[in-house]
Amino acid sequence: MKYVIIGGVAGGASAAARIKRINEDAEIVIFEKGEYISYANCGLPYYLGNTITNRNNLFVQTPTSFGNRYYVDVCTLNEVTAINRDKKTVTVKNLRNGKEFEEAYDMLLLSPGAEPIIPNVPGIDLPNIFTLRNVNDCDRIKMEAVDKMTENASAVIIGGGFIGLEMAENLHKIGYKITVVEKADHLLTPLDKSMAAIVEQHLRNMGVDVITRNGLAAFQDNNGQLGVVLEDNTLLNCDMALLSIGVKPNTRLAAECGLTIGEANGIVVNEYMQTSDECIFAVGDTIEYPHPITGQPYCNFLAGPANQQARIAATNMAYPESMSYQGSIATAVAKIFDLTAASTGLSEQALQKAGIDYQTVIIHPAAHASYFPGGDPIDLQLNFCPETGRIWGAQAVGTTGVDKQIDTIAMLIKHQGTIFDLVHSEHAYAPPYNSAKSPVQYAGMVAEDVFAHLVNPINSDELDALIDNPDDINIIDIRDIHEFQAGTIEGAENYPLDEIREMLEDIPADKKTIVFCEYGLRGYVAARILMQSGFEEVYNLNGGIRTYRLIGRHYSE
């Protein structure tokens, strides 16, 4: 059996290794139009920021070492220009000498990856405009921007996603003054605004300028400097700009040979990673597959799922229909200066777009036992079904332990777990590592109370809408007097929790009552007191004033 693989890196190289482990006699040819067969895409920003100082450490395998280990014919700088399904051949152009030839296959695997989105704006061809997708991009940035960096150099990052913010940190680390521009109303759109706002504030604290609700309109040459023109005509002069506004599946070969391209503009595959041609499989950034929660076609641009898909495709190419793919819920994590931000499953925005009903809780527990040094809070948001308790998604931001919490929730989401599974979960506990009531277990308990209507949460934007028409509401700050005096929500009155039972007669019971504290726990206790004392409409501010300070409109000091 002869296998031809188009593209290396996470998908193609992993599939080739798997096929060879299954069938030593398999004949495998990999065509890769670049110079490298297996490298660490996710490590590129850290090489530019000098965290990774040796460029060779980016390469997992060289074409020679990979070919020798697995007895695979690795053909770099060879671009497949056409797939001839009727003949079961591919047309290949040798980029070294320009010659073309055809290669036959019994089974074909497509792993061409994705391409960066390049906006069609004036000035897009000016110098010092970069993307970061592969080693060649990285080398160009290193040679033209990093090695030639001058004093007081500045960079504009167009796009506030994970890669854009990783680059913001690493360019800042080597001395660039950074501005991040994001067209959406907040950075990190896989996160909801309540979590993204924490990252935005941290970036500003680190000296990074953040511009949201404003997109790229044009580039221009300003006396040798690069000018970035935004949609509101703001002009940002800089020494370099990085386009990080997203990627799109590379489906040209698949479309030209008649394979089915789906609604999400990816190559349609079935659960065995098989395309509309039974002899052609596809993996990685180029495919679309139904999302495990929404059931809608979905493209996922992450290395973890690509490696998983490669293993599944390779197994099924050797043993037909022997291993199934379950889809990806896009679990992702990034280091952003001193913070870690992570997400899994569906955000509020994604749930709204899919028309899925949801409820949200926001908590701020310590990463480990609060009395043990270094127990900084983790800001965690959990989205779940208000009817069944099934977990839809989660996000977390903090300095430590964030990945552990999100990985735990991701595993439950993949198995259709519920908030009740979080409550009954078990976690290793010792003061340096966790709390006796772990953050995810605590999130499940808070969600369980909401599910049981023991407390009614209200989000910051909902509270803002009520404050705009304040006649029929009570806003009660149940923190201590010194906390209240340091800053509170406009219109709030102070009824400290430990005194509130004696002050109930002073609170109008016929109004909608919103209580809040710093994080939410004391607010919950106060809400339970009020709800059991004749107050019919009581709400606890979701995430407390810690969340409201960042995204609310009516906070005053």
**Bridge partners for 458 per DSSP:** 541
pLDDT over 90 (residue 98): yes
Q: Is 119 helix (H, G, I), strand (E, B) or coil?
A: coil
Residue 351, pLDDT score: 98
Residue 87, pLDDT score: 97
d(CA 8, CA 357): 41
Residue 39, pLDDT score: 85
322 — pLDDT class (breaks 50, 70, 90): very high
230 — pLDDT class (breaks 50, 70, 90): very high
Q: Is 206 exposed, middle or buried (0-12, 13-18, 19+ CB in 10 A)?
A: middle
pLDDT digits (tens, 9 = 90+) for 239-266: 999 999 999 999 999 999 999 999 999 9
d(CA 143, CA 264): 36
pLDDT over 90 (residue 238): yes
DSSP string, 362-414: EE--BSS-TTSTT--B-EEEEEE-TTT-BEEEEEEEESSSHHHHHHHHHHHHH
DSSP string, 168-237: HHHHHHTT-EEEEE-SSSSS-TTS-HHHHHHHHHHHHHTT-EEE-S--EEEEEEETTEEEEEETT--EEE
Residue 176, pLDDT score: 97
pLDDT over 90 (residue 448): yes
Q: Which residues contact 469 (CB under 8 A, 6 or more apart)?
A: none
CA dihedral 151→152→155→156, nearest 10 degrees, is: -170
How many residues belong to the chain? 557
Residue 557, pLDDT score: 86
Residue 197, pLDDT score: 97
Residue 469, pLDDT score: 84
d(CA 422, CA 437): 11
Name the percent of the chain lying above pLDDT 70.
100
**Bridge partners for 102 per DSSP:** 91
| Cβ atoms of residues 31 and 6 within 8 Å | yes
pLDDT digits (tens, 9 = 90+) for 372-425: 998 889 999 999 999 999 999 999 999 999 999 999 999 999 999 999 999 999
- What integer is the mean pLDDT of 332-359? 97
Share the mean pLDDT of the chain. Answer: 95
Provide the 10 A C-beta neighbour count for residue 545. Answer: 25
